């Protein structure tokens, strides 16, 4: 009898992909598909999506993937300049799915929610 479960979605803390090796040993890469998602408090649940493969279990961490449609994301330095690929910075999210600010916290909203 085929498995009816199609997808397993992970969200929350950083995913320890090495711990998924027994899963892949039993079920393989595609059925059901494992998906790593990343989200932050200031958005509606998740902002990125990445299918996980058995090859990922060989890496120390799973990349967070690509932006979900209708969202944009940028990795910026402390002065809000884009950083080169592979360099460290802070992830900034924009467009649909982003909150308007923090409830009853105008100063914090002004500090953290910057124009896109």
Range of the domain at 54: 7-112
Answer yes or no: are the C-beta atoms of 98 and 43 closer than 8 Å.
yes
Number of domains forming the structure of the chain:
1
Answer yes or no: are the C-beta atoms of 46 and 68 closer than 8 Å.
yes
Domain assignment of residue 1, yes or no: no
Confidence (pTM): 0.73
Domain assignment of residue 99, yes or no: yes
**CATH at residue 12:** 2.30.38.10
Domain assignment of residue 2, yes or no: no
Q: Give the pLDDT confidence of 87-115 residue by residue, as tens digits.
A: 999 988 888 888 888 999 999 999 888 87
Q: Give the pLDDT confidence of 71-86 residue by residue, as tens digits.
A: 888 899 999 999 998 8
Count CA atoms closer than 13 A to 1's CA, side-chain side. 2
Q: Give the pLDDT confidence of 38-60 residue by residue, as tens digits.
A: 888 788 788 889 999 999 999 87
DSSP H helix total and E strand total for the chain: 2, 6
In sequence order, what are the residues at sequence separation of 6 or more whose Cβ sits closer than 8 angstroms to the Cβ of residue 9? 35, 37
């Amino acid at each position: 009898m085929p498995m009816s479960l199609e997808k397993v979605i992970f969200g929350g803390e950083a995913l320890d992909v090495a711990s998924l090796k027994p899963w892949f040993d039993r079920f393989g890469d595609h059925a059901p598909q494992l998906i790593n998602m990343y989200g932050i408090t200031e958005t509606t649940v998740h902002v990125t999506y990445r299918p996980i493969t058995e090859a990922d279990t060989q890496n120390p961490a799973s990349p967070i993937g690509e932006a979900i449609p209708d969202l944009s994301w940028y990795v910026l330095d402390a002065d809000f300049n884009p950083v080169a690929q592979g360099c460290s910075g802070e992830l900034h999210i924009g467009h649909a799915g982003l909150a308007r600010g923090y409830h009853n916290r105008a100063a914090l909203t002004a500090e953290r929610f910057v124009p896109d």
